[in-house]
Structure 1
Amino acid sequence: MKLIILDRDGTINSDSDDFVKTPEEWLPLPGALEAIARLNQGGWRVVIASNQSGLGRGLFDVAALNAIHAKMHKLLAAAGGRVDAVFYCPHSPEESCNCRKPLPGLFEQIGTRFGVQLQGVPTAGDSLRDLQAGAAAGCEPHLVLTGKSAHYRNGGQPEGLPAGTLLHADLAAFADFILERGASPSSEKDKK
């Protein structure tokens, strides 16, 4: 199975310091939905791993989150794409759970649900904690320079990136890279 794990806010859609709390606030980034569709057409299954501490903070409820994801799925379908599953951490930072990124719990849940080893599975996000969580689970880290990392477009990068992190202008550039490469690094090694 060709699997990719993406962050949501700041990677697929616009992020907000006030949290994305309603479907109306969920706005896809330019080219992001089409990038997911191209990955799907290339045989990739796309899964989301997202911190949603707004739930734990009482800023919105599960019904609102489900409505946001319904909008995302509808817009993705219109673009010819799909997300196979959305995994999210509902906890606030004070709850000390294992599923809140930068810890790897969400990624481990994805590996279990899909019955795959995550070694070399590409993961893309806009923040250091997205990549730390993925790398801790064995994924190949990719930083997109949107959302929290948009200010690095003119140079530089966050300190402490996992070894081997690859940088991309946005999700479309990440998709281009993945599709041009053709397979995850682990499957390339398996062919040798």
Structure 2
Amino acid sequence: MKLLILDRDGTLNRSRDDYVASPDEWEALPGALEAVARLNQGGWRVVIATNQSGIGRGLFDMASLNAIHAKMHRQLAAVGGRLEAVFFCPHAPEDGCHCRKPEPGLFEQIGQRFGVPLADVRVAGNALRHVQAGAAAGCATHLLLTGQSEHLREVDDAAIDAPPSTQVHEDLSAFADWLLAQDAATAAAGAP
């Protein structure tokens, strides 16, 4: 199984300085939903892993989070894309949980749910804590220069303080193009 774990805010949708606390505040990034659809068509199963401490801080509730995700799923379906699941940490930073990124708990839960060794899983997101959590879980990591990492576009890739072996991509669409090209090259190399 080809499994990819994406971050949500800043990867699929626009980040906010506060929180995406309602469906009206959830706005897909240009090309991001279509990138998920292309990945799905290429045989990739896509899962979201996201910190949602606004719940733990009392800034929004589960009904609001569910409504945000319902909007996200509807918009993905409209372009032919799909998410297998959304895993989230509802805890505030001071709770000290194992599921809040950069801790690897969400990734471990995903690996268990899908029965996939985490070394075979790719992780892509705009937040360093997302790729740090993926690296701590043993996944192959990819940093997207959107959202929290957009300011790194002017920095040499070698100067970015990401886990070793993290590959850097302009956005989710560029990452999808790269990953699908890797799949095509692997398939061509194995063709008789």
TM-score of Structure 1 vs Structure 2, range by shorter chain: over 0.9
> Which residue of structure 2 lines up, in the alignment, with residue 168 of structure 1?
169
> Which residue of structure 2 lines up, in the alignment, with residue 2 of structure 1?
2
Say if 2:182 is the partner of 1:181: yes
The whole-number CA distance in structure 2 between the counterparts of 1:154 and 1:25 is 28
Tell me, yes or no, if the aligned pair for 2:125 and 2:143 is still in contact at 8 Å.
Answer: yes
Count of residue pairs the alignment pairs up: 185
Q: Detail structure 1 runs of 4+ shifted over 6 Å in the superposition.
A: none
- Provide Cα deviations, 1:43-74, integer angstroms capped at 9, x if missing partner: 00000000000000000000000000000000
Alignment RMSD (CA, Å): 1.5
> Which residue of structure 1 lines up, in the alignment, with residue 132 of structure 2?
132
User: Helix, strand or coil for the counterpart of 1:149?
Assistant: helix
Once the two structures are TM-superposed, the CA of residue 21 in structure 1 deviates from its matched residue by 0.2
The whole-number CA distance in structure 1 between the counterparts of 2:92 and 2:163 is 24
% same residue: 66
User: Helix, strand or coil for the counterpart of 1:160?
Assistant: coil
> Which residue of structure 2 lines up, in the alignment, with residue 105 of structure 1?
105
User: Helix, strand or coil for the counterpart of 1:142?
Assistant: strand
User: Helix, strand or coil for the counterpart of 1:47?
Assistant: strand
Once the two structures are TM-superposed, the CA of residue 5 in structure 1 deviates from its matched residue by 0.3
- What is the TM-score normalised by the length of structure 1? 0.93
Tell me, yes or no, if the aligned pair for 2:48 and 2:86 is still in contact at 8 Å.
Answer: yes
Relative to its length, the structure with more helix (as a share) is 2
Any gaps of 5 or more consecutive residues in structure 2?
187-192
Any gaps of 5 or more consecutive residues in structure 1?
186-192
> Which residue of structure 1 lines up, in the alignment, with residue 50 of structure 2?
50
> Which residue of structure 2 lines up, in the alignment, with residue 115 of structure 1?
115
The whole-number CA distance in structure 2 between the counterparts of 1:102 and 1:159 is 17
- What is the TM-score normalised by the length of structure 2? 0.93
**Structure 1 pair 170/159, CA: closer, same or farther in 2 (3 Å)?**
closer
> Which residue of structure 2 lines up, in the alignment, with residue 188 of structure 1?
none
The whole-number CA distance in structure 1 between the counterparts of 2:138 and 2:87 is 17
